[in-house]
Amino acid sequence: MSTNKPGAATAPSAQPASLRGIVSGERFLGHDALSRNAAKAASALHDVGVWQGDTVALLLRNDFAFFEASLAASQLGALTVPLNWHMTADEIAYVLDDCEAKVIIAHSDCLTEAVLAVCEGREVIAVATPPEIQAAYKLTKEKVRINGPIPEWYNWIAQFPEWQEQSRVVPSPMFYTSGTTGMPKGVKRKTVSPEVAARVAVRTGAAFFGASSDGISSIMTGPLYHSAPNAYGMRVIREGGLLVLQPRFNAAELLTLIDRYQISHLHMVPTMFTRLLNLPEQQRLAFDGSSLLHVAHGAAPCPPDVKAAMINWWGKVIVEYYAMTETGIIATCNSEEWLAHKGTVGRAAQGISISILDQDGQECEPGTSGEICIQSETTAFVSYHRAEAKTEQLRRGNYLATGDIGYLDEDGFLFISDRLSDMVISGGVNIYPAEIEKVLVNHPAVRDCAVFGVEDQEFGERLVAAIDVGLDTVSAPLPDHAEFNEYLRKHLAAYKVPREYVLQRTLPREDSGKIKKRLLRNAYLAGELTCLSASQSSQ
């Protein structure tokens, strides 16, 4: 099979013990070839004016080129800014201007006319969208065609010799927040001493990989434009491991790949657990999984019944971590700790101090909820790019505010209630939607759900629940409003029961599995979602 990529080869059908590098679909790129391509790319980037402190934007799906470009930029001491390819052209334009990107490297299907228009004045390099990504996203030949005089990545870097130098300063990638409360903010981590960097690496490695990251094999299930998958994937590659790329998460395919390549480590999010558990019993029983040693998960709260079911199925290899883009790993817990403190996200990681602060900035007693704030040797080095005022809003004295609400128990285990920005104030009472979602998702008719607040003349805000009922046909019976109310009132106080319910056959999500609440709320306010009325009965 011709790959049209220097050093790439056809991926083996099973994993030899010595297989190390990147697998994507039927393609394989070994570490030596990856290093050569990255070194050539560094020379190519330097030729168009990229040097230490400059910015290279990556509008790429999970592919070889993402790693080649990231490693190339690091050799030059340049900063990479991974872009969420779901963004509109206007959103991309804002980030490109804010980070002052000199170069944008993008998959050909992402380079629409609108995106090309906002890239004017910057060097644009196209990466031919590979066949496995085309298939996963049902992209036509027209969609992936490179239009105009835009250099193609592999043809471009092939013209240059391998870069021989290595920058003394290797900046971390700059990730932009989702911008749910305003324009996206670039999270910038200033350079720390090598000693501090080493301690941070140990903390991250322990959460992601356990006792050792030597000889690991993993599957990249989440998009590399997110900070955690990015850090995880780059660590596997830098450690000389095997990384199998899933262009798009597929639960059944994941099980097949784990057994085929004897995968030892995984990075996942709770929605993936739910989709795995929803597979037909025959598929789950056929899965061996004995190669798994460490399955890290984070990014969102995991319903206790889902996590318990996964531990029962896969064993005590599941490790939870709590982190934020601004700070990295905050807390972790293994399966045994979680089973003893169900619902926790763990205890403070080594070198991290956690405080729960009330609205007056006073420390809360164990069991009392407040804003989760953290301190470590790196917190003083975190800032938002070109947004000093927003950086100051992040700080609580010597602590950084996570924006999450939660509490510590008597043993120091952290429990998260919700995002501060998602909190709903109804009738003067603080309500945390995540608490409602954890109960509602256990209703037999609910595959997943999202609870959010909308303006209400009487109460200030009222609760709306969007429910993924997974209906296969339009004529399928619908659960009714009263049924959901009755179910929730068995578990929650009456004021926490939503006033309205929206039944959806699917909920808008990021590729990571996170539900896009902002889109749901906007659709509701625009009258695009139909609610079940309080008197509506099953149809």
Whether the Cβ atoms of residue 430 and residue 436 lie closer than 8 Å to each other: no
* pLDDT for the residue 535: 39
* pLDDT for the residue 472: 52
Q: Taking residues 188-195, what's their average pLDDT?
A: 71
Residues in CB range of 369: below 8 A, 6 or more apart: 356, 405, 406, 407, 417
Distances (CA, A) of 411 to 179, 331, 332, 415, 439: 35, 13, 14, 11, 25
Query: Is the pLDDT score of 392 beyond 80?
Result: no
Residue 296 belongs to domain spanning: 194-420
For residue 205, the Cα-to-chain-centroid distance in whole angstroms is: 17
* pLDDT for the residue 478: 66
**394 and 457 inside one domain:** no
**329 and 216 inside one domain:** yes
In the chain, the number of structural domains is: 3
* pLDDT for the residue 180: 43
Q: How confident is the model at residue 64 (pLDDT cuts 50, 70, 90)?
A: very high
Percent of the chain with pLDDT over 70: 88
Tokens coding 517: 């609440």
**361 and 447 inside one domain:** no
- Domain membership of residue 518 (yes or no) is yes
Indicate the pTM of the whole model: 0.79
**220 and 165 inside one domain:** no
**47 and 25 inside one domain:** yes
- Judged by average pLDDT, the poorest of 34-38, 232-236, 253-257, 374-378 is 374-378
Query: Is the pLDDT score of 381 beyond 90?
Result: no
Domain with residue 79: its CATH number is 3.40.50.12780
* pLDDT for the residue 178: 60
Query: Is the pLDDT score of 538 beyond 70?
Result: no
